[in-house]
Amino acid sequence: MPKRKVTDFASLELEIARLENRKRMLEGELEYRVDYFKDNYKSMAMNSLVPGLQKSGVFGAVGNIAKLAWSSTGSKNVLKNVAMTALEFVAVRFGIKLFNKYTHRRKKKRADREAGEA
């Protein structure tokens, strides 16, 4: 339905109906696209990281193994534990570094104060 100029109440009602139909059509198309994305996001992510991974011979096997590992809850738990351990290690190292910096600064201030008194 082509756009029309709204000049009276009746044409306003027709335009509102036309726009509501268009809205429903666009909502349906958006729903279809979201469903497609939900179904295919893993393969799209793999292809964006390593293009053509799924269709190549040796790398296709690697891709299949990666898919299998990704769908396995045990491997997800292992990866999650490894990530948490690495994060804890970095946090502890960063915390120790900050603590050492703070105590070194206090010792230096104390030494400067004692040197000023003497």
Model pLDDT, residue 31:
93
Examine the pLDDT at 9 and tell me if it is beyond 80.
yes
Model pLDDT, residue 4:
67
Model pLDDT, residue 97:
80
d(CA 87, CA 81): 10
Question: Could you tell me the pLDDT band of residue 37, with boundaries at 50, 70 and 90?
Answer: confident
Examine the pLDDT at 57 and tell me if it is beyond 60.
no
Model pLDDT, residue 60:
62
pLDDT, average across residues 85-105 = 82
pLDDT, average across residues 55-71 = 65
Token pair 């100029």: residue:
5
User: pTM to 2 decimals?
Assistant: 0.38
Task: Supply the mean pLDDT for the chain.
Answer: 79
> Are the C-beta atoms of residues 90 and 96 closer than 8 Å to each other?
no
d(CA 84, CA 88): 6
